[in-house]
Amino acid sequence: MLPAPPTSAAETLADLASALGVDAVGWTAAQVPASAVAEYAGWLGAGRHAGMTYLERQLPARADPSSRLEGVGSVLVLGVSHAFAPPTVPGDGVRLGRVARYAWTPDYHHQLQPLLTRLEQEAAKLGVRARGYVDHGPVMERLFAAGAFLGWRGKSGMTVSTRLGAFVTLAVLLTDLPCETEAAAHPDRCGRCTRCISACPTAAIGPDRTIDARRCVSYLTIEHRGPVPHEWRTGVGDWLLGCDVCSEVCPWSAKAGPLARLLEPEARLAYPDLTRFFGVSERQFEREWAGTALLRPRRKGMARNALTVLGNLPTEHEGREQGRPLLLAGSQDPVWEVREAAAWALGRWGDADLLSPLLADPHETVRDTAAQAWAGVI
């Protein structure tokens, strides 16, 4: 029997979450073991959070849920599937590259926040103080998900569910409902399987169920600012935004299949038109992609990613004919990071005609990459 706050309010809130379309719901104690804090601090100390320095500042808050809600006693954990069936590919524009499934729908933070607000309002009516988070606050959602028996931390570091697979978006509702009994964590169902570790294109998954963001494709295409390190660019492959490899190869994901019901995918997000990242201002880009995950890397990041994808296209790929004008546009982009990515891609294509002007680029990094490309060393 799983522990739950000994009040009818707990059942009411859980039932409401299910009625609102949440795929998995569970309660757990609002406790963060010292061992979990030490592990997280060790991950930070090793620098595996890359440029996400805000995670260092948030460590004290993550270790102490009461810093988010005074008197917190229990947590309602919500799991929402983003295991979408692929939408129909649009027939217009340059459609190359892959996008992680969570980004196939408008920003899930915006979509799930009203659901949490509804739960907060219901909790207030029941005399319960509550505060909700959708992956935007210093809360250890995956730890709480395991305690609530929604799933376990897989070898990929992701929450994996026997019913939902690895494509799970988590949200939490901190409450001041008491939880006298500490829940045991969900048992590990990975067994001997190491498919996620073997399939990672940049070997970013460690043996301790953590990810080294410095080489993770998701980090490199979303959070990383500036040029992607040369040693990881071929590993990015055709990923335009994020990466789903570890979740795709998970046997539990295959067993679950496409079952998302609360969130809906959009073809324009699953298959973005690469031409929309070039020849537009940052303001125009923000207007077109408002309310989507594409805003996170910004216009220059998406243009950089598009050029990286193009640079990784095989020689005989049909997309090369469509992509060549984008290489030209990238080589003339006003942002140096984009021109640098174009120089790398042109070197991969062996396109000397477009590459040669970049040898005299005003930015040193662009010139250096162009020189390496000219020499055929990238």
Q: Across the strands, what pairs with 153?
A: 159
Q: What is the pLDDT of residue 92?
A: 78
Domain assignment present for 215: no
Pairing of strands 239-241, 98-99: parallel
> With contact defined as beta carbons under 8 Å apart, do 367 and 347 qualify?
no
What is the per-residue pLDDT across 212-227, written as a single tens digit (0 to 9) for each? 999 999 999 999 999 9
Instruction: Verify that 155 and 17 share a domain, yes or no.
Output: yes
Residue where the block lists tokens 């207030």:
124
Confidence of residue 7 (pLDDT cuts 50, 70, 90): low
> With contact defined as beta carbons under 8 Å apart, do 343 and 230 qualify?
no
CATH number at residue 352: 1.25.10.10
Q: How many CB atoms lie within 10 A of CB 242?
A: 22
Distance from C-alpha of 113 to C-alpha of 132, rounded to nearest angstrom: 8
Asked if residue 136 has pLDDT above 90, the reply is no
Domain assignment present for 235: no
Asked if residue 90 has pLDDT above 90, the reply is no
Segment (H or E) for 147: helix 141-147
Sheet holding 130-133, edge to edge: 24-29, 74-81, 168-175, 130-133
Would you tell me the crossing angle of helices 298-311 and 336-349 to the nearest 10 degrees?
10
Percent of the chain with pLDDT over 90: 92
Domain assignment present for 89: no
Instruction: Verify that 288 and 161 share a domain, yes or no.
Output: no
Domain assignment present for 71: yes
At which of 125, 142, 175 does a domain end? 175
Q: How many CB atoms lie within 10 A of CB 102?
A: 22
* Side chain identity at residue 303, one-letter code: A
At which of 175, 195, 219 does a domain end? 175
Instruction: Verify that 153 and 297 share a domain, yes or no.
Output: no
Distance from C-alpha of 245 to C-alpha of 298, rounded to nearest angstrom: 23
Domain assignment present for 183: no
Q: Kindly list the catalytic residues.
A: 135
> With contact defined as beta carbons under 8 Å apart, do 252 and 166 qualify?
yes
Specify the pTM.
0.94
DSSP class of residue 358 equals G
Is residue 77 classed as helix, strand or coil in its secondary structure? strand
Domain assignment present for 256: no
Domain housing 22? 8-82+107-175
At which of 133, 152, 175 does a domain end? 175
> With contact defined as beta carbons under 8 Å apart, do 193 and 199 qualify?
no
Environment class of 320 (CB within 10 Å of its CB; exposed 0-12, middle 13-18, buried 19+): middle
Domain assignment present for 378: no
**Which residue, among 197, 218, 224, 205, has the nearest Cα to 301 in the 3D structure?**
224
> With contact defined as beta carbons under 8 Å apart, do 236 and 312 qualify?
yes
Q: What is the pLDDT of residue 35?
A: 96
- Give the mean pLDDT of 188-206: 98
Instruction: Let me know how long the chain is.
Output: 378
What is the per-residue pLDDT across 26-69, written as a single tens digit (0 to 9) for each? 999 999 999 999 999 999 999 999 999 999 999 999 999 999 99
- Give the mean pLDDT of 272-286: 97
Domain assignment present for 44: yes
Instruction: Verify that 43 and 171 share a domain, yes or no.
Output: yes
Instruction: Verify that 160 and 291 share a domain, yes or no.
Output: no
For the chain, the domain total comes to 2
* Side chain identity at residue 196, one-letter code: C
Residue where the block lists tokens 């546009």:
329
